[in-house]
Every structure is written in structure tokens, then in C-alpha cells.
Amino acid sequence: MSSRGALLFDLDGTLLDTADDLVAALNHVRQREGMTELDREPLRIHASSGARGLLKAGMPAPTSEAQQQGRVAAFLEYYAAHQLVYTRAYPGVLALLDFLGQEQIPWGIVTNKVEELTLPLLAELGWDQRTSCIVCGNTTAHSKPHPLPVATALARLTASAEHSWMIGDDIRDIESGRAAGCKTATAAWGYLGQGNTAEMLGADHILQQASDTPDLLSIDLTARQQAS
């Protein structure tokens, strides 16, 4: 078994701040039903919850499953065409990716965003050429918090779970990483979910900013030395 470790990252709320484009898709659905737009800021915490989570937070309850399906379809259609209006990498992320590339540290993206949205977004950013592993919400039979997406990423990177980290801003990231045998770190700059603090997610480590991420490699090295 490989002893090589890897860094695995969630996407929305960890590497990319996608909240404003996601809320814009919600407001598009509201406008279709004759409702006024909502302020984006209070809804940002729901950005990791996907289309259904944002619709639940920003729309009246649907009167039927057909109406809900129509809302989801309209949300996703709009979002697919407007993914990079407001979306930006978080501060320090681009420098972090440069560092990982220069040091040849294996890293991957494990997101619950579906391939149809993720792959074009990453291609537009050029990130598909920077990482050798992208696992999306529909790449495997299960999405996070199930361990399968993280386990799949580790297998593709030929990385050891024991020496790898799953980094994210949502409890599902932490649960998925832990269940797959990884160490876990919370991206404290992310969305975290309604009512949560970074501490409440229960990760092994809390990162206050993206530039702190290389410290995880030092933590792992120290742990290996102590175990030897």
C-alpha cells in the first residue's frame, strides 16, 4: 500500500467562493415566479447545500413535487450558464495551488457539485490541468458524506488515507474524509452551514486561511516521526 499522502479539497466554500452566483440562480427562480430578488449576503451560508438547499432557504414551500422539479431545473439551467459571474478563488488559493504544483504534492477535488457543472467550471478556470483528480457528486454511486468519493480520489492519486487530508467547509466533508480514513481539516473561511462554527464541525484541524494549508504537511510529517 502506498505511503504517499494527498490533499483533497471540497470546491464550493473551500477553493472557490461560488455563493453569489448560486444565490443569483435562486433569484432567477424567484423572478420566474413573480417574486422580488433577495439580498445575497444572508443566503451565502446555504451555498454548500446545493440547489435544493438554496431553494428551501429562499423560496416558499413547493405546492407539488412537479413544481419543485421545475424550480430545480430552472435553477441549474441558469447556474450552468452563469457560473463565473461573481465566483472567485478565495484569498491565498491560487498561491496554494502554485505551491502544490511546484512541490509536486498530489491533490484532488472532491465535490458534491455534479460533473455537468464542475468540469466546465474547472476547465474555464484552467484548474482541470492543475489537478489530476476530480471527483464530483455523480462520479460515484454515493456523494459526501459517504466515504466513497474520498476513497475514489485516494485510489486515483494512489495515496494513503492514513497520510492524507480531506479539507472542506461543510460537515459532510469532514464525515466523508473521516469515514474514508483520512485526517480532516475545516476551511474556516468557508460557508460552514447555518448555525455552525468551524469548531462545531469536529475536524482534526482548523485552517484559518488557505495559506495555512501547507502546515498540514508538517503535522503529518511530525506524526510519522513520532510513530517511528
Instruction: Please state, rounded to an integer, the average pLDDT across all residues of the chain.
Output: 94
Question: Which residue type is seen at 1?
Answer: M
12 included as an active-site residue: yes
pLDDT tens-digit profile of 96-155? 999 999 999 999 999 999 999 999 999 999 999 999 899 999 999 999 999 999 999 999
Interatomic CA distance for residues 84 and 176, integer angstroms:
27
pLDDT tens-digit profile of 195-220? 899 999 999 999 999 999 999 988 76
Q: Can you state the percent helix, strand and coil of the chain, rounding each to 5?
A: 50, 10, 40
Question: Is a pLDDT exceeding 90 seen at residue 165?
Answer: yes
Active-site annotation holder among 10, 169, 170, 173: 10
pTM for the structure as a whole: 0.92
Instruction: Answer whether CATH 3.40.50.1000 is correct for domain 7-17+88-227.
Output: yes
Interatomic CA distance for residues 138 and 141, integer angstroms:
7
Write down the pLDDT at residue 158: 96
Interatomic CA distance for residues 27 and 32, integer angstroms:
9
Mean pLDDT of 174-191: 97
- Dump the DSSP string for 210-226: GGGTTHHHHHHHHHHHH
98 included as an active-site residue: no
